[in-house]
């Protein structure tokens, strides 16, 4: 009814000198006030406005101009409203014949004549007692009066209801006729005294059938086509005859057609209309093509595509990620093992929107030939294991000064050392995914330690040669030692809020690393066990403490050649590194700053690591070489005596 005000205003301006003018306008206004579509219309009241000229100007063609406007509001007027307006208009034409042209314009627009009536069947065969419903189609769709009148000739053989249902009464032949607007169509009905069977439809959802018959004569055939609206799927179709499931022979799923050649029992048809969910497939590809590039997939169906690197002579896959809904399904969806240039993606059962992300990196050779930027890109892609192997090495150059333990002097690194891969995505639930863990270092293929630790209560030991005590690991508080507070972590390895790879602490091991390596290092969450005494209770408890480091030591559990007993505090925080699980020993020798190796001062297999309890430990043997403390692999007993230990330190980092 949105355009009703337009027609009212136009009628007002078109009619002159007739009390009729405002009555018509009032009629439309009443329609508008009642919202149209069957609202009550009071058209009996005639208004005369004194400010309108009382001339007898013939409206005539003025109303022709209203046709488009009237047509646009026609759906908003009920038939009762149209009848009321036309009836009042006709009465006014009798009084004012000059309004006849205007009346005819609206009458012809609204009172569209019926052009044809057609039935859905020209003949029916029914058994006595059977019924079938005829459907009459009246054209045009906008015919003003589409009321169908049903009749039958002769009487007594069949009856017909006003909804078109024909009931067979007795044997014979009759003609059923549907009439509307002077047009008609007929159906010949043959009635026999024979057996018939009922047809029952059990539909769930919006399932329709093109055969409305509720019964079929014995021995006759039965056919029907099922359908569902666009966006729906026909499922669970079952056809039974006489309680026997005949779906396999009676139903053709490709055409949704039911056909029974010889009906000999009651027919029961069941079907369900199920809405089809369609999921989007999006592609975020750089240097990669997808074929086929399907844009949408139906729920429950399969999906597959093949990714190819566009320039495979210079590039190979960097990252491939497949998401379905909010889940990363790359591990199962990418079915090509270690894809380099071609990757097949296959999803057997689609249950959500699919997103495929893939990019390329320059083709690479050995780990040692790659830049740290390339290694970082491959690591971030989650495909590192496709390019490198555990134990692969890369040479770096150490350059810078580090302290000589407690001597106040400095040693200078100016030497090459190898870093090697300990594993990929180590303990990802704690440490994060898409990481390569490297260990420093190797020299001439042998495990070496870059520095040593010393501890003499709160001071660094100066025992032995100067290079043996480059880094110290004493606690800031001896009886409350924690890895987080120790000088090794903060000073030697440069793990502090102020410092890090981009701003290493002066005279730290971090500061000697190449700048291109430091630029791609990732912080990694680790946990160490600490003993803490609760204030006021005196109770000492073990607890795991999280810390985020760029350079870090590895734990006892991560390097042990054999499994160690876990406590409840260790569970979930540590797993074995792949390098050591492969049978490689943890027996480093000491590398002096000039690059030479020395093993005479250090027992085989002793190296600084985290143990399960972060307090000093020692054997009862007072021999210096066999003594160790909490961060040295291999011992378990307690001792709180003066200690001087110089042990190799090896640390790790992630890219």
Q: Which residues contact 631 (CB under 8 A, 6 or more apart)?
A: 453, 473, 483, 488, 553, 608, 609, 610, 611, 647
Which 8-state DSSP code applies to residue 492? I
pLDDT at position 70: 56
Instruction: Note the pLDDT tens digit of each residue in 250-286.
Output: 999 999 999 999 999 999 999 999 988 999 999 999 9
Q: Which two tokens stand for residue 487?
A: 């000088």
Which domains does the chain possess? 4-110 (no CATH), 116-275 (2.60.40.1080), 279-363 (2.60.40), 387-525+547-605+642-654 (no CATH)
Q: For residues 151 and 177, is the Cβ–Cβ distance under 8 A?
A: yes
SS3 label, residue 234: strand
Q: Which two tokens stand for residue 292?
A: 């086929």
- Pairing type for strands 267-275 and 196-204 reads parallel
Distance between CA atoms of residues 131 and 156, nearest Å: 14
Q: For residues 472 and 488, is the Cβ–Cβ distance under 8 A?
A: yes
SS3 label, residue 22: helix
Low-confidence ranges of the chain (pLDDT < 50): 1-5, 7-8, 10-23, 25-64, 405-407, 452-481, 565, 599-648
Instruction: Note the pLDDT tens digit of each residue in 178-221.
Output: 999 999 999 999 999 999 999 999 999 999 999 988 899 999 99
Q: For residues 605 and 587, is the Cβ–Cβ distance under 8 A?
A: yes
For residue 477, how far is the Cα from the chain centroid? 52
Closest of 56, 60, 62 to residue 16, by C-alpha: 56
3-state SS track over 404-453? CCCCCCEEEEEEEEEEEEEEECCCHHHHCCCCEEEEEEEECCEEEECEEE
Q: Which residues contact 293 (CB under 8 A, 6 or more apart)?
A: 283, 305
pLDDT at position 143: 85
pLDDT at position 652: 93
């Amino acid at each position: 009814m949105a355009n009703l005000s337009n027609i009212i205003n136009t009628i007002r301006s078109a009619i002159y000198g007739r009390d009729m003018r405002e009555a018509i306008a009032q009629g439309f206004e009443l329609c508008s006030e009642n919202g149209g579509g069957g609202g009550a219309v009071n058209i009996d009241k005639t208004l005369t406005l004194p400010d309108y000229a009382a001339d007898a100007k013939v409206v005539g063609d003025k109303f022709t101009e209203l046709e488009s406007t009237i047509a646009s509001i026609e759906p908003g007027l009920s038939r009762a409203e149209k009848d009321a307006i036309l009836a009042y208009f006709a009465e006014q034409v009798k009084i004012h014949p000059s309004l006849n042209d205007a009346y005819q314009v609206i009458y012809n627009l609204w009172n569209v004549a019926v052009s044809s009536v057609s039935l859905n069947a020209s003949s029916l065969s029914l058994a006595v007692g059977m019924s079938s419903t005829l459907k009459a189609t009246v054209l045009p769709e906008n015919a003003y009066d589409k009321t169908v009148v049903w009749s039958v000739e002769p009487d007594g053989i069949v009856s017909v209801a006003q909804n078109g249902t024909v009931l067979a009464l007795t044997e014979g032949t009759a003609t059923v006729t549907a009439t509307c607007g002077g047009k008609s169509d007929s159906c010949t009905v043959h009635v026999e005294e024979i057996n018939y069977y009922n047809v029952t439809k059990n539909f769930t959802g919006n399932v329709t059938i093109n055969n409305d018959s509720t019964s079929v004569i014995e021995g006759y055939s039965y056919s029907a086509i099922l359908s569902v609206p666009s966006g729906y799927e026909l499922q669970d179709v079952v056809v039974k005859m006489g309680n026997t499931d005949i779906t396999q022979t009676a139903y053709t799923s490709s055409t949704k057609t039911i056909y029974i050649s010889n009906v000999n029992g009651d027919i029961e048809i069941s079907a369900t209309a199920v809405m089809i969910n369609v999921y989007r497939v999006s592609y975020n590809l750089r240097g990669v093509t997808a074929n086929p590039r399907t844009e949408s997939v139906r729920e429950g169906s399969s999906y597959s595509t093949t990714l190819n690197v566009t320039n495979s002579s210079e590039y190979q896959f960097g990252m491939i990620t497949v998401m379905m809904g909010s889940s990363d399904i790359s591990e199962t969806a990418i079915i090509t093992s270690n894809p380099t240039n071609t990757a097949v993606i296959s999803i057997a059962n689609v249950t959500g929107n699919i997103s495929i992300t893939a990019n390329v990196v320059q083709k690479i050779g050995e780990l040692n030939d790659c830049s740290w930027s390339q290694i970082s890109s491959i690591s971030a892609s989650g495909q590192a294991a496709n390019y490198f192997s555990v134990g692969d090495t890369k040479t770096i150059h150490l350059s810078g000064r580090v302290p000589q333990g407690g001597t106040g002097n400095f040693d200078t690194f100016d030497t090459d050392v190898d870093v090697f891969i300990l594993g990929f995505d180590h303990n990802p639930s704690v440490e994060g995914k898409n990481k390569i863990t490297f260990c420093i270092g190797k020299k001439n293929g042998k495990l070496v330690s870059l520095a040593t630790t010393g501890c003499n209560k709160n001071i660094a030991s100066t025992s032995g040669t100067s290079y043996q005590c480059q880094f110290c690991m004493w606690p800031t508080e001896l009886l409350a030692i924690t890895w987080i507070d120790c000088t090794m972590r903060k000073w030697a390895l440069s793990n502090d809020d102020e410092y890090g790879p981009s701003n290493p602490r002066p005279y730290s091991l971090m500061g000697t690393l190449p700048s291109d390596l430091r630029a791609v290092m990732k912080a990694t969450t680790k946990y160490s066990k600490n003993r803490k005494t609760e204030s006021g209770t005196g109770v000492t408890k073990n607890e795991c403490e999280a810390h985020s480091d760029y350079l870090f030591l590895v734990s006892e559990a991560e390097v042990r050649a054999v499994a160690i007993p876990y406590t409840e505090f260790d569970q979930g925080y540590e797993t074995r590194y792949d390098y050591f699980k492969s049978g490689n020993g943890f027996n480093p020798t000491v590398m002096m700053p000039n690059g030479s190796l020395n093993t005479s001062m250090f027992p085989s297999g002793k190296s600084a690591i985290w143990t399960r309890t972060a307090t000093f430990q020692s054997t009862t043997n007072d021999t210096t070489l066999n003594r160790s403390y909490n961060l040295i692999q291999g011992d378990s007993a307690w001792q709180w005596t003066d200690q001087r230990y110089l042990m190799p330190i090896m640390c790790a980092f992630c890219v």
